[in-house]
Chain A
Amino acid sequence: MKRRSLLKLGIGAAVVLGVAGAGVALMRPALVNGKFSTDVHALMRAVAEGVLDGLLPVDASARSARLSVQLAQLETTIAGLPAATRSELSQLLALLATGAGRFGLVGLTSDWASASAAEVREGLSAMGASSIGLRQQVYHALRDLNTLVFFNDPSSWALVGYPGPREIAV
């Protein structure tokens, strides 16, 4: 990871947060052959749970299965993005997967795998209300991507009372 490309993403602001120095050294690729790395998978699962808390099944195994579908669809969606966007997102996720990035940007003390949905949600919420543009960008990137993927999936349509498209087949 080169400092130059981080700055292009706008993560120059991360220097202000004091995370870039520590974060960059520890960053590992977020996407490997279009799939999340182990660290990033844990991060994205926690984020999905934080964004979608209250919308996911209550039953533990059903919840876990729904999250797995969400994670797979996130990977597919990201693979469909242009290379420049994939690369920016990959850098962002790699940074968030480091302890410094997680604490500096999201304000989360627990690591991703052990943070509760409520803790993650509070962290995300604080980012969304932040006066720092970078934190707001990160909030929207994570929140909007998860929301779009979740509600685009037909299995979520019943939640909103959407019957699906009107059939035109005979």
Chain B
Amino acid sequence: MSSPIPDPIKEGLARGWKVLGGGLGALPATLECDVVIVGSGAGAGITAELLAKAGLKLVIVEEGPLRSSSDFRQREAEAYSTLYQEAGARKTADQAMPVLQGRCVGGSTTVNWAGAFRTPGDTLDFWVERYGLNEASPAAMVPWFEQVERRLNISEWLTEPNPNNDALRRGALKLGIEAPNAKRNVKGCWNLGSCGLGCPTNAKQSMLVTTIPAALDLGATLLVQTRAEKLELAGNEVQALICQPVQLNGDAAGAPVRIKARHYVVAGGAINSPALLMRSGAPDPHKLLGRRTFLHPTVASSSVMPDPVKGWAGAPLSVFSDHFEHVSPIDGPISYKLEVAPVHPGFAMTNLGGLGPAMAARTQQFPHISIFIGLLRDGFHPEAGGGTVSLKSDGSPVLDYKLTDFLMDGARRAHLTMVELQFAAGAKTVRPAHEMARDYVSWKEAQEAIKTLPYQPYLTTVGSAHVMGGCNMAADSARGVVRPDGQHWQIANLSVHDGSLLPTSIGANPQVSIYSQAARVGTALAKRLSGKAVALA
């Protein structure tokens, strides 16, 4: 299949971008640079552009492959196995929650659903109050949000929502709940609906097509299919980063590479970044590293609508409701954000549960299925304290995250809300994603059933696509792994610039929160290392 869409990555490679590894060029045994950046996702991408603009010599290290628009064929099988962490099979330690996280050039920004929300003000207020992050107050963050929004073409999605999103809009309108249009980071979007599988038209303004190309045009070197294995520490300094070239499945592929730099930026994403520091034996005097890792545990409810929904087509996330994030105090019973999930065959049939005959019945209704999701806002209450990263015997990370009764109470309430909205939107039947739930024909029947269902892990379908925390920033070393400017509290030439910085979950899809924090700390780091003032936009 020949695509009429130009591929900016193939064009950049033809222009002479320095990209090595993964069959694109042999990796040398050693490299030297001003700054090495681990990762190429939201935090890494923004940092790379800023540091490259400051004239610093960069090496960017990405564990996943370089794939671009001409590779993105909108096939679930290809996307999950090549673009996601652990081939799409990452799970929490007890296997109760799948964790979708990108692992490719652009990281999760290459595969997210393009929902672009600013960090809610009450989340930032909480960080100021509990973590002393005055630099990240709602007022202080405004200029950073504005720069990110300009750079990534973020604006409200004014195209008619697809029927899946329209069901949420309709239900909310009926019940008098606010459900506005989402903002999206797109330019010339074709409204295909394949955001989660890699954008085949380069419309999504992910790091893959924005900041990483900008850094490469300014001379940065990108190593792909290269895993950051270990930082060599001496005293309070990093001496080098040792990297291992890997195959797509993570198996070793060749001799290690030793990279020496003045400064080291760790931005491999939550779970991975704390794991790299753990493998390196980084000091952790207050036992904070890898702790408080948050997931926005996400529950789902599927409905059968009278008209076709074709939930695979059209912008996957264009309507949302924050109503239930504001009905109680932020540190009260857990709140949730409402969105919808795209309905692709593999993802939807797997997550809606059941065996043979139950699935066979569902296939008949598939084009009419609409799926709502509720994202629980963890991290603001002692019983939603997040999970803890540890290392398996081979050094790979695993997140132990307990689905507490406090969280499962939120799951039940989110199910009740979603089911009510789905019936209000005209659903013929609704089934919350729970192994023991049935297709209910009325709100009353569903409500009674949900009140008696056992809300336990495994029985209740819970997943995550947002990983946050584990190297949190704070105003003093007793409360955080890194300083408010991203600099590690104990190691002089090491910073963390990714979602692991966040002290709690966000209460919204986190990409803009990560971009904005990376813009803030990246701009300061560029000034500190080069003496030059640079700006993202």
Contact = CB atoms under 8 A, between A and B. Distances in A.
Interface in B355-402: 355-357, 359-360, 363, 366-367, 392-394, 396
Interface string A137-165: 10111011001111111101101111001
Given A152-B76, A160-B366, A83 B249 contact: yes
Interface in A30-73: 50-55
Given A147-B350, A151-B346, A168-B192, A81 B249 contact: yes
Contact of B86 (A81, A117, A162): A81
Nearest to A137: B95
Contacts of A161: 363, 366-367
A155 to B, nearest CB: 11
B200 to A, nearest CB: 6
Contacts of B249: 79-83, 86
A157 B77 CA distance: 13
Given A141-B95, A168-B192, A157 B73 contact: no
A147 B353 CA distance: 9
Interface centre among A83, A148, A170 (most CB of B within 10 A): A148
B117 interface: no
Interface stretch (B2-10, B107-115, B122-130, B150-158): B2-10
A13 B396 CA distance: 24
Interface stretch (A97-105, A107-115, A121-129): A121-129
A127 to B, nearest CB: 10
A152 B77 contact: yes
A165 B87 contact: no
B360 A82 contact: no
Contacts of A168: 3-5, 190, 192, 200-201
A148 B98 CA distance: 13
A83 B3 CA distance: 35
B11 interface: no
B71 interface: no
Contact of B458 (A79, A137, A149, A152): A137
A136 interface: yes
B464 interface: no
B394 A54 contact: no
Main secondary structure of the interface of B (DSSP, over half): loop
Contacts of A10: 94
Nearest to B200: A168
A57 to B, nearest CB: 12
B367 A117 contact: no
A40 to B, nearest CB: 18
A167 B200 CA distance: 10
A165 B349 contact: no
Interface centre among A137, A144, A149 (most CB of B within 10 A): A144
Contacts of A136: 458-459
B199 to A, nearest CB: 11
A8 B298 CA distance: 27
Contact of A82 (B3, B347, B393, B396): B396
B251 interface: yes
Nearest to A118: B356
A14 B94 CA distance: 15
Given A55-B359, A77-B81, A117-B356, A165 B192 contact: yes
A137 B97 CA distance: 10
Contacts of A55: 356, 359-360, 363
B435 interface: yes
Given A85-B89, A148-B350, A166 B192 contact: yes
A24 B89 CA distance: 26
B309 to A, nearest CB: 11
A82 B192 contact: no
A88 to B, nearest CB: 9
A82 B190 CA distance: 34
A84 interface: yes
A148 B87 CA distance: 12
A121 B355 contact: yes
A169 interface: yes
A101 B4 CA distance: 54
Interface string B336-352: 00000000111101100
Nearest to B361: A54
B74 interface: yes
B144 interface: no
Interface centre among B80, B95, B201, B357 (most CB of A within 10 A): B95
Contacts of A137: 94-95, 458
Interface centre among B200, B457, B458, B459 (most CB of A within 10 A): B458
A128 B4 CA distance: 47
B355 A83 contact: no
A117 B356 CA distance: 9
A133 interface: yes
B355 A143 contact: yes
B234 interface: no
28 contacts: A8-B392, A52-B356, A53-B356, A54-B357, A55-B356, A81-B87, A82-B87, A82-B396, A83-B249, A124-B355, A129-B436, A129-B459, A136-B459, A137-B94, A137-B458, A143-B355, A147-B346, A151-B345, A152-B77, A152-B345, A157-B345, A160-B367, A165-B75, A165-B194, A166-B74, A168-B190, A168-B192, A168-B200
Interface of B: 1-5, 73-77, 80-81, 86-87, 89, 94-95, 190, 192-194, 200-201, 248-251, 312-313, 344-347, 349-350, 355-357, 359-360, 363, 366-367, 392-394, 396, 435-436, 457-459
Given A86-B249, A147-B346, A162-B344, 19 more contacts: A8-B393, A55-B363, A82-B250, A83-B394, A84-B393, A129-B459, A133-B457, A151-B76, A151-B350, A152-B80, A152-B346, A154-B75, A156-B345, A160-B363, A162-B366, A165-B192, A165-B194, A169-B4, A170-B2
The 10 closest A-B pairs by CB, nearest first: A165-B74, A53-B356, A54-B360, A160-B366, A136-B458, A152-B77, A152-B346, A151-B345, A54-B356, A82-B250
